Amino acid sequence: MSAVVELNRAELVTICAVVSAATIMGVEPAANSGAHAQLMQQGEASLRQRNLAQSDHDGMLMIARDTLALVATCAYPQRSLILHHVPSNGSLLQAFGHKHADSVVFHEVLNPDAQRLQALGSLQELANQSLDWCGYAGVAQTPLRFHIQSTVLAEARSLIEGSEEQAALQALRDSGVSADAANLFIAMLSQHHTTTIFNAVVYQGQQVLSREYTLLQAGDQALLMTQTNIEQDLYQLETTSRERLASLLLQSLA
């Protein structure tokens, strides 16, 4: 399988039709049948021009094997890693990792009309590629761990955004968060920071199992947030390492 290919929306819609898929994650389907037909026409012409498609002896559209395999893996995954990254400027970046049988693909949304699909050798490579994509180097930190309810977390974040750090500190301390942990959290959110959400999904027949991790980064500091109790709406925040986060992602995709 070729290492990487960039495709536009029309090309992806066309290849999805060839593999009998409505669409793939990150690609907006056509609004109606007329728009779909127009995209198909544009996509087929573009694929032929790039030598990524041709007609067989019956006149049916044939897609280059490696490109077809990349899109098919994204269309029919058995495992998915859905990534949302919010840099300090507040924009939203998206990427996806998919596995089907022995095929593993990293799919990056470059812009609304450009996607990059890259073949990888394993889920381990996918985990590492995902951490590279969000810029996580994994600098060693002093171990810290604390638990907090989402309502307190939201209140603290709102206070920090309003430059009310002391009130945020009080809210965190009142909820049982240690001074060291509260000060680290406030210091991180008071400066330029990024947020990355990793959603690991396993498809088992009609059942879908998912596990979500949120990584907050600010300078050399990072905190990993996971939900530990749904009924109590309780979250755990802790310092982590690149190796540990990669291991958690692999375990969730196993």
pLDDT digits (tens, 9 = 90+) for 173-192: 999 999 999 999 999 999 99
| Residue 234 in this model has a pLDDT that exceeds 80 | yes
For residues 233-254, give the mean pLDDT.
94
Strands (E) across 139-186 are located at: 145-149
pLDDT for position 139: 80
Q: At 87, phi and psi to the nearest 5?
A: -70, 180
pLDDT for position 144: 93
Return the closest-CA partner of residue 156 out of 143, 147, 144, 165: 165
The rounded percent of the chain whose pLDDT value lies above 90 is 87
Q: Which long-range contacts (CB under 8 A, 24 or more apart) does 225-229 make?
A: 228/147
Q: In what order do the strands lie in the sheet with 234-238?
A: 4-7, 114-120, 103-111, 93-100, 79-86, 194-204, 207-218, 221-229, 234-238, 145-149
pLDDT for position 138: 85
Cα separations in angstroms, 161 against 144, 171, 215: 23, 14, 18
What pTM was computed for the model? 0.92
Return the closest-CA partner of residue 53 out of 63, 42, 67, 68: 63
pLDDT for position 230: 81
For residues 13-27, give the mean pLDDT.
95
Residue 46 buriedness (CB in 10 A; 0-12 / 13-18 / 19+): middle
| Residue 140 in this model has a pLDDT that exceeds 80 | no
- 27 pLDDT tier (thresholds 50, 70, 90): very high
